[in-house]
Amino acid sequence: KAYLFAGVEIRWRCDPALLANDDPVPAEAVLHYPGGLSDYLNDATADTALLVSTPFADLVELDGQKFEWAITWLGAGEDGFFHSYCNTVPTPSGGTHEAGFRQAITRALRSFGDLAGNRKAAEITADDVFAGTAVMLSVFLRDPQFQGQTKDRLVSADATRQTEQAARDRFEQWLAADAARANFLLDAAIERAEERKRRKKEREVARKSATRRLRLPGKLADCTASDTDLTELFLVEGDSAGGSAKQARDRKTQAVLPLRGKILNVASASTEKLGANQELSDLALALGVRPGKDFQLDDLRYGRVIIMTDADVDGAHIAALLMTYFYREMPALIEAGRLFLAQPPLYRMTQGGTTLYALDDAQREELEKSGFDGRGKIEISRFKGLGEMPPGQLKETTMNAATRRLLRVDLPRRDSSGADARRGVDQLVSTLMGKKAELRFGYIRDHADDVLADLDV
């Protein structure tokens, strides 16, 4: 907290009798960092090789809100990090403030390149700019919105624009103050962009040749495009839903792999069972990757993997089994933000010529009250499964990128200090999906009140 409040001095005292001999906690200490995040960054990179002698650090107040940051570029082989906070709450999963800062730095560097007459600057992305960087970002917002109860991700819509507005002008001034330094950073980003494009081209060539060699699962309806920026694989339950999905898909960019019923629960299965399971073998084959420690994200044949199951309890169970599989065997896929859950409707509601779709009972009740303007009877039909939904409706509600809704599956990043922010996730997966039924029972007993209103009984 002392780093986040530059003017605060925290004085710590503790009775030495309460401390063990090997306890690293001091009996007395004064925590005071007048440089704020700049001091934080300097301490965090004290033993790290740096590419620039002076970090870009500043604090801006806009409309009664504060935006403070510090960023530096690390030497070759050094691991970067991005630590962010909102109102002193750590946001290890990032969010809209991080997105705004990334946009500010990237667009400012592109703008500098454009003014310098460097045409290649237009091709750099945020990943090219932020590779090998160490970043500290702290914002103080009115009424911030977080994702979930853990508040590990900021979702305030205005934070992206506000953070970019606060940081971009200051970074453009910082670049203009030292043209040699700015050109050095620009050249480094362009070099990474060219390397990224070269690797992408190599992957596309390898993918095309691998597809010719690969014996893909017979039930896979593959797409014709090979650009992973465009392609996606839908995992659907059963041949019936698979048939509808194959008719509803965009054949150029969307592939469909039907799965037979509930897949193996990898959290409670032996290694032998996992290796012998045909459904999971077909899934890995379709993705073009090897599960476990041999997984390579660059080998993935699709840009997105979308779990599309029925909007009922059985569908949720299958989705949970698939997420468990990806978490245990391909966590890098989730870390890269490439695993999604489709949101098919549970109800179709019609009044006259107006048709609306509801994801669940709560939305159905809301639409009954305010979704229709007419006075006639509202006809409501519940979908028993994706297989009974006409391909046109499935496309409109669940598969068409222009009209669908997707939920991205996220994981907290690993903390560069060595603490594993995912330890709690791993424990939760083991509790809910592992062999010990008594752990599940205890979890249900402790959290039943939290989900009572959402139970499908």
Q: Catalytic site residue 158? A: no
Q: Catalytic site residue 314? A: yes
Q: What gap in Å lies between CA 320 and CA 283, rounded to an integer? A: 16
Residue from 23, 127, 195, 314 carrying the catalytic annotation:
314
The 10 Å Cβ neighbour count of residue 435 is 11
Residue from 39, 68, 172, 310 carrying the catalytic annotation:
310
Residue from 158, 299, 312, 360 carrying the catalytic annotation:
312
Residue from 68, 232, 237, 329 carrying the catalytic annotation:
237
Q: Catalytic site residue 456? A: no
Q: Catalytic site residue 15? A: no
| Residues taking part in catalysis | 237, 310, 312, 314
